[in-house]
């Protein structure tokens, strides 16, 4: 019998109004579980529970918050293999990647457990005699957390942990493709010692559950990670009622390879950044911008390495690239391969649907030589497709790197300290990598982008306080 993933509302597990099914993208005959799907009324009941819990959780001591978050972090770390297996089965990234993500989610909870003990504030002398000034951070109230499918443990963790650390109550809505991971996280939180209603999980569609959260006047703030289209609609709706909004959206991240870079190592970074996690990372290196003198050599290295990648079942030992998450995503990836060919981009490798012993959404990683204005070099594919783009020199490479509506992450491979330093200053991105893949970030420092990639304060690290708190300035007469 399939596991039944339920909502967690006001401290109780609830069945849904309708049911959905979560499939294993590596093996469509394997049903990960059935999941509850909420309607607007059930979502509103979760919002009301979060409103009612505001006082209890918002006035809880730092020690209590530390204990709750530390408990969740410890359990995630202790169960990383089991949770990683669920993640790999439901989302399709390889088992080592999935175990790494479960561990990262644990580290994030541990980090914010510590932050709960260090909520910052200031006490200053007033410009007036006999007056003290205090600047403190207070919870926002009810926050809605809406997340995508591609990091189904880590992204929820980096929203839920700071939301709770700073005293907010939460309604969490995971993506419909990964209800099992959302449920597993909620199951741990349900035993962590929170007051009823402080954390709620509502499963279901973006249109029903997501939109109800965005439009509810009882929701004080919304943190969203997902596509640009949905993010922009959320921004418009939330701004209209003046709710605080944080958006993390797409990317079309450049990795610049200069002629002085160790090419083998640069190719390793490019393959890792472009294709691991099946290219389904907002930080994926989808534009490989290579200086002309080494372009042909680098392209050949990339062609060989891309063709050698092992595509297979996410849970199978030796698999380097798991399946794509869903049939729709596979179709989107294949359609971009067709667009690339149609636009006249030069095909170097992959881009074909594959058959494996189990029926799943398999595709060989695709590599093209593209012109900067071609669609595959400009639009986010969110799959294993990368473009090589020729640059005349460093200045041209930098201009190409910045010639995108997005600005999440930008990387450079070079032996030149001067060029690396210049790139760090002038790349129009929220994150810059030097001699590293564009994907792969630390859990204790800010994450986020510029331009169409992000809106609002950064996530993660100490900067998370900027979104999850509101500042109060208090004046006290001392005499
Ligand atoms: P998506 O925008 O389709 O969905 C994201 C979430 O929003 C899901 O939970 C979905 O149910 C919900 N949603 C959909 N419509 C909604 C609506 N009208 N109102 C409220 N909520 C709604 O994105 P996805 O397909 O799950 O994820 C892929 C996208 O996420 C890619 O574009 C990728 O770049 C982006 N992403 C960005 C980051 C980042 O931090 N920048 C990280 C991971 C993924």
pLDDT of residue 306: 98
pLDDT of residue 148: 98
288 and 410 in a single domain? The answer is yes
Answer whether 50's CB lies under 8 Å from 213's CB: no
DSSP for 173-229, please give it: E--TT-HHHHHHHHHHHHTTTPPTTSEEE--S-IIIIIHHHHH-TT--EEEEES-HH
The rounded distance, in Å, linking the Cα atoms of 431 and 419 is: 17
Q: Tell me the pairing of strands 409-413 and 253-257.
A: parallel
Distance 141 CA to ligand 1 centre (A): 23
Atom of ligand 1 nearest to the CA of 229: 2
385 and 278 in a single domain? The answer is yes
- Residue 82 appears among annotated catalytic residues: no
Within a domain: 440: no
Query: Burial, 138: exposed, middle or buried (Cβ in 10 Å; 0-12, 13-18, 19+)?
Result: middle
User: Is the minimum distance from the CB of 219 to ligand 1 under 6 angstroms?
Assistant: no
pLDDT of residue 2: 74
142 and 269 in a single domain? The answer is no
The residue among 309, 313, 318 whose CA lies nearest residue 366 is 309
155 and 174 in a single domain? The answer is yes
User: Is the minimum distance from the CB of 227 to ligand 1 under 6 angstroms?
Assistant: yes
Within a domain: 442: no
Residues 6 or more apart whose CB falls under 8 angstroms from that of 447 comprise 158, 248, 430, 431, 441, 458, 459, 460, 461
191 and 272 in a single domain? The answer is no
The residue among 422, 406, 375, 378 whose CA lies nearest residue 283 is 406
101 and 225 in a single domain? The answer is yes
Beta partners for residue 13, in sequence order = 8
Query: How many residues are listed for the chain in this entry?
Result: 479
398 and 463 in a single domain? The answer is no
Q: At 427, which helix (H) or strand (E)? A: none
Within a domain: 441: no
Q: Whole-model pTM?
A: 0.98
What CATH number is associated with residue 90? 3.40.605.10
Within a domain: 342: yes
What CATH number is associated with residue 284? 3.40.309.10
Within a domain: 293: yes
The rounded distance, in Å, linking the Cα atoms of 26 and 324 is: 8
CB-CB neighbours of 105 under 10 Å? 32
Number of domains, the chain: 2
Within a domain: 79: yes
Task: Give residue 399's domain range.
Answer: 253-434
Within a domain: 110: yes
pLDDT of residue 17: 87
Q: At 432, which helix (H) or strand (E)? A: strand 431-434
pLDDT of residue 413: 98
185 and 165 in a single domain? The answer is yes
The residue among 439, 448, 433 whose CA lies nearest residue 256 is 433
pLDDT of residue 419: 98
313 and 353 in a single domain? The answer is yes
317 and 458 in a single domain? The answer is no
298 and 225 in a single domain? The answer is no
The rounded distance, in Å, linking the Cα atoms of 165 and 158 is: 11
Give, as one character, the DSSP assignment of residue 229.
H
CB-CB neighbours of 72 under 10 Å? 29
The rounded distance, in Å, linking the Cα atoms of 436 and 440 is: 9
Choosing from 204, 226, 459 the residue with most ligand 1 atoms within 8 A of its CB, the one to mutate for a pocket test is: 226
- Point out the residues of the chain with pLDDT beneath 70: 1
Distance 230 CA to ligand 1 centre (A): 7
- Residue 331 appears among annotated catalytic residues: no
Distance 414 CA to ligand 1 centre (A): 34
215 and 83 in a single domain? The answer is yes
Answer whether 288's CB lies under 8 Å from 274's CB: yes
Question: Each residue of 14-61: pLDDT tens digit?
Answer: 998 899 999 999 999 999 999 999 999 999 999 999 999 999 999 999
User: Is the minimum distance from the CB of 173 to ligand 1 under 6 angstroms?
Assistant: yes
Within a domain: 448: no
The rounded distance, in Å, linking the Cα atoms of 412 and 26 is: 33
């Amino acid at each position: 019998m399939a596991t039944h993933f339920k909502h967690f509302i006001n401290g109780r597990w609830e069945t849904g109004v309708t049911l959905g099914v979560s499939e294993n993208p590596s093996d469509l005959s394997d049903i990960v579980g059935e999941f509850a799907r909420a309607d607007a009324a059930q979502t509103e009941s979760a919002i009301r529970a979060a409103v009612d819990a505001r006082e209890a959780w918002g006035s809880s001591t730092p020690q209590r918050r530390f204990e709750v978050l530390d408990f969740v972090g410890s359990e995630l770390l202790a169960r990383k293999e089991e949770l990683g297996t669920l993640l790999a089965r439901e989302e399709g990234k390889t088992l080592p990647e999935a175990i790494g993500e479960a561990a990262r989610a644990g580290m994030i909870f541990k980090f914010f457990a510590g932050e709960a003990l260090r909520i910052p504030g200031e006490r200053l002398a007033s410009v007036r005699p006999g007056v003290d000034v205090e600047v403190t951070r207070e919870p926002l109230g009810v926050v809605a957390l809406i997340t995508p499918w591609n990091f189904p443990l880590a992204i929820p963790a980096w929203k839920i942990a700071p939301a709770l650390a700073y005293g907010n109550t939460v309604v969490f809505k995971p993506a419909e493709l990964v209800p099992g991971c959302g449920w597993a996280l909620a199951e741990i939180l349900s035993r962590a010692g929170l007051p009823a209603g402080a954390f709620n999980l509502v499963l279901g569609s973006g249109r029903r559950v997501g939109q109800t959260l965005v439009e509810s006047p009882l929701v004080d703030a919304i943190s969203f990670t997902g596509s640009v289209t949905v993010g922009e609609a959320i921004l418009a709706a939330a701004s209209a009622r003046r709710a605080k909004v944080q958006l993390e959206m797409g990317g079309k991240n450049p990795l610049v390879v200069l002629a002085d870079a160790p090419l083998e190592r640069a190719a390793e970074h490019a393959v890792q950044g472009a294709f691991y996690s099946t290219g389904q990372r907002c930080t994926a290196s989808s534009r490989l911008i290579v200086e002309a003198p080494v372009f042909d050599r680098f392209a050949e290295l990339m062609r060989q390495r891309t063709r050698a990648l092992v595509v297979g079942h996410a849970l199978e030992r030796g698999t380097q690239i798991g399946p794509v998450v869903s049939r729709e995503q596979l179709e989107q990836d294949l359609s971009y391969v067709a667009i690339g060919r149609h636009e006249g981009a030069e095909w170097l490798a992959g881009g074909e649907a594959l058959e494996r012993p189990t029926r799943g959404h398999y595709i060989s990683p695709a590599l093209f030589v593209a012109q900067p204005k071609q669609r595959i070099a400009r639009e986010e594919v969110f799959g294993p497709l990368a473009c090589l783009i020729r640059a005349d020199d460093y200045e041209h490479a930098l201009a190409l790197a910045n010639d995108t509506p997005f600005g999440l992450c930008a990387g450079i491979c070079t032996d030149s300290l001067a060029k690396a330093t210049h790139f760090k200053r002038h790349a129009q991105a929220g994150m810059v990598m030097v001699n590293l893949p564009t994907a792969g970030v630390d859990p204790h420092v800010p994450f986020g982008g510029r331009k169409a990639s992000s809106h609002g304060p950064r996530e993660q690290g100490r900067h998370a306080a900027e979104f999850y708190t509101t500042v109060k300035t208090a004046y006290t007469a001392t005499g």
